[in-house]
Every structure is written in C-alpha cells, then in structure tokens.
Structure 1
C-alpha cells in the first residue's frame, strides 16, 4: 500500500473482520477527531486494533469469548503494536435513523445498546456503515507503539514499514459480493 494509514477499531471487531465473521464497521468518529466527524480518509487502509472502550456487555453473547481471547493476547503498555490486516472500503453508507440501524442487527457483533448509543452520539452527524473487503497479511507487521496511535480518534498515520507485505482476501470474491448484496438488500426493506 502506498499510504500507511490505519483505521483504529476495537480489537474484537478487527478479529471479527479478519475471521470473516462480519464485513462492516459502524463509525461516528472519535472524541479527538480533527474534523469533529467521521470521514473516510482513504479507500484502502490498515486495521489498527484498539483496546479502549471494549466491554463485553456491548457485544452479542456469541462474541464475548472473542473479546476475552483478544484481551488475553494483549499486553497493556506493550512497546509494539501488530498490524495483521488491511481493508478496502467497498461502500460508505450514511445512516441517520434507528430503524435503519436495526436492519443491520444480523450483520455485526454489537448489541442493540451499542448501536443505539453509537447513533445517538453526535446526533447531527450520520453514522457511517463501512462495508469492508478485508485482507490478511501473510506476515503481520510489528511496529513500535507510538503516542500518536493512542486516543479516541479514527485514523492514524503509521510509521513507515516495508511495502512488500503480501496479503490474501479473507473471503472469496463470491462470498464478499453475496454478503454486501445481502446487507444492501436489508437496508432497502
């Protein structure tokens, strides 16, 4: 990838994306967002696992063990961060109402409480549904942890690293197209 930009997302959500359990994220932007709202800064980006704000009660029961697995593998205060995946945004759909958010319930790991809170926060700003084609790096990249990677913000610029990373899609073309079509169809109900 030319740019070394990363989207910060809950580590448990990155795990779900990397395992093909979901193909979407719901974004409003972080508290420390420069623009005060969410903007898709690049159509291709790495996924930076974030550990702030993850709580089991905000995940559907079936995904709570995934959160525990992520937390068990994490070392608080680690001097490095691992990048294991990148994504291409297939779509950025703005959502403005609860009824539309409710149509997505079968396609993500979060509880209704989480999605309702996400929609209500910064009420005047839309909730962004990003449909993501995710790729796993054959060899994850370890980068020194930097202060710039912390805090409540959506995007971070990663320090330069070797650009020869080889990656493979998590889902086949057919499966990805089927799932995106299913989500888009759900939104038109």
Structure 2
C-alpha cells in the first residue's frame, strides 16, 4: 500500500479486489483497471489534479495601536504587566537559613578563603562546613522538604577547595623563595 511519499500511479487495489487502483499521491481515487493474464487492459489514468490554491487575501492597511486601540494581549504568554488587571507578583525566592545554617557559614568561610586565607583556616572551615551542609541538605530532601540552601553549600565547599589550593601554591612559592637564604650564604 503506498504512503503519501509514493508518487502517483497504478497500484494493487488496497480493498483486495482484482485489478489495480489509481493512487494520486495523496489518496486513492475511484479509478480502477483490470489486469488480464498479466496484461493490463488499456485505460488512461485519470488526470492528476493540481492541489487547490487558497485565494490571496487582499492587502490590508497597517494597524496602528494607540490608547484608544490597544494591542491585543495574550494572557499567559508573558504575563500581565505590573499595574494592569490580572498582574500577580512573582513569589520571591527566600532562603530559610534556619533549615541549614551551615550552608551559609560555609559560603561565608569560602568567600574569606578565596580572598584572605590565613594559614588555610578559612579553607578548612569552608570545606568542613560545606560537607556538613550537603549532608543536611540530603537529609532534608529525603524527608521531602524543600532545601533552598544547597547551592550555598556547594559554592562554599568549592570556594574552600579553590582557596586551599591557592593558599598551598602561595605557601610553596614562599618557601621556595627562602630556600637560598637558609642553605647558601649570600653575604
């Protein structure tokens, strides 16, 4: 059975009747022909009709929107503008630090670790507090509660790692800089 991608032509009758039926490229026509002993009885296929063309719409004048003729509004597409009927303010995202206070502490320690990492203490604090905050976040999720502080915990942990690596690199540079002073007399 041909599909719409097949070209027009004679194909075996889809109804199971003997002979062939004309497929016009879109659907089956009523034109049929018989096949006698392997030979096709001479019949002309029906003319292929061109698809109907929709009449062109007459050009219209451009629409000018104004206060007396406002543009159409499509509710739900962008939402209503502030100050118009139907406007509902979006709920602001609030962090409930009481659920997971160590996430906030980890974030602050991570910020300090990136900018002012004295003896790697802020880095260590950010990493430890971040790990504890992530554990608490997993507990809250397992209990079915929403946890909005997980991002702070991840950021604090990551900044603690970055600050710690940067602090170690700075410490190594410092120690390598003083090695010649301890082992070689430069007087």
Q: Which has the higher helix share?
A: 2
TM, length-normalised to structure 1: 0.17
TM, length-normalised to structure 2: 0.17
Q: Which has the higher strand share?
A: 1
Decide which structure has the larger Cα Rg and report it. Answer: 2
More relative contact order, 1 or 2 (CA 8 Å, 6+ apart): 1
